[in-house]
Amino acid sequence: MNNDQLIRITRYYRSLNRLKTIGLEKVFAHNLADAAGVSAAIVRKDFSQLGIHGQKRGGYEIYDLLSSLGTILGKGDPQNCIIIGCGRIGRALMHYNGFEPDGIRIVAGFDSDPLVYSDASHPVPIYPISRIDEVVEALEVTAGIITVPEQAAADSYERLVKAGVMGILNFSPITLKPQLQSDGVMPVIHNINIALELEQIFYELKFPKTDSKTAKS
């Protein structure tokens, strides 16, 4: 599966979860097409390539589709994630309640500031960073989100990997690069930079892309 298709499948999966939440049982390709920003023909082609077929009278059972796409996306039990750096961004993520339907559970936070980790008012427990190994093991953590200041990012990365957390989402301004571990495992790091994304939007507004659909002949 190529990257574009993977992104579309992830979007279908999310939309299906939302539709299920509001009580729907059946969905049509065009419903998912709108959510993923593609045509209904592409949705049908994606499903057909994955061996998923609709009903004779059209449409797909949401429950069956979620189960098939979930298997393809490797979803099973919810994935436990932790946050390193419980300041403004870390706390905002912790308070967001829209992750659960996607099978993402923020289970704990870590901070170096005693005022932060002794404050019991957060939606998940916050621990001193020195306790990361034991908490990661106890909670079976899959991924860590780094929301510390720039100068603490490399240390947070090292602590996560040492604790066995191989999935990392980095919000700090430095680009973290994965290093192959002695056991042959390569951590997966995604660096998020909103400024870069916005710059790309500014650029595309200034120099609009032309494609076969929008270009005038």
Ligand X SMILES: NC(=O)c1ccc[n+]([C@@H]2O[C@H](COP(=O)([O-])OP(=O)(O)OC[C@H]3O[C@@H](n4cnc5c(N)ncnc54)[C@H](O)[C@@H]3O)[C@@H](O)[C@H]2O)c1
85 annotated to bind ligand: yes
**Interaction between residue 93 and ligand X (CB under 6 A):** no
Q: Which of residues 28-47 bind ligand X (CB under 6 A)?
A: none
86 annotated to bind ligand: yes
Looking only at the bridges linking them, the beta strands covering 167-170 and 60-61 are unpaired
Between 186 and 205, how does the x/- string for binding to ligand X read (CB under 6 A)?
Answer: ------xxxx----------
Kindly state the number of chain residues that form the binding site for ligand X, as judged by CB under 6 A: 27
How many Å apart are CA 31 and CA 29, to the nearest integer? Answer: 5
Instruction: State the nearest-atom distance from the C-beta of 113 to ligand X, in Å.
Output: 4
CA angle 110, 111, 112 (to 5 degrees): 140
How many Å apart are CA 106 and CA 143, to the nearest integer? Answer: 9
Judged by CB, which is closer to ligand X: 38, or 126?
126
Q: Which of residues 117-176 bind ligand X (CB under 6 A)?
A: 129, 147-150, 152, 155-156, 171-173
Task: Indicate which single residue of 81, 111, 145, 166 sits in contact with ligand X (rule: CB under 6 A).
Answer: 111
Judged by CB, which is closer to ligand X: 59, or 164?
164
Q: DSSP 3-state assignment of 59?
A: coil
DSSP state of 13: H
How many Å apart are CA 71 and CA 194, to the nearest integer? Answer: 31
89 annotated to bind ligand: yes
How many Å apart are CA 156 and CA 111, to the nearest integer? Answer: 10
How many Å apart are CA 207 and CA 204, to the nearest integer? Answer: 5
Binding residues for ligand X, per CB under 6 A? Answer: 84-90, 110-113, 116, 129, 147-150, 152, 155-156, 171-173, 192-195
